[in-house]
Amino acid sequence: MIRLLLVGLFAYTAYRVTMRIIDEVSGDVAPADERRKLRRQSAAMGVEPKR
């Protein structure tokens, strides 16, 4: 029973750490939706997107 509690606590901690890292990094990188919009807009204009 204690092993199950420890595994659950470990999984929750790993999840929180991962989400915190993703939140910190996501400010530097454009979300996937913005990249898709840029591709569609550039394709509609007949221009390749510059990065």
Global pTM reads 0.48
Evaluate whether 38 touches 49 at the Cβ level (below 8 Å): yes
Burial bucket for residue 38 (CB in 10 Å: 0-12, 13-18, 19+): middle
Q: What is the pLDDT of residue 49?
A: 57
Evaluate whether 22 touches 32 at the Cβ level (below 8 Å): no
Q: What is the pLDDT of residue 23?
A: 82
Residues 6+ apart with CB under 8 A from 39: 49
**Residues 4-43: pLDDT tens digits?**
999 999 999 999 999 998 888 766 555 556 666 666 665 5
Q: What is the pLDDT of residue 25?
A: 77
What are the boundaries of each domain within the chain?
Answer: 2-45
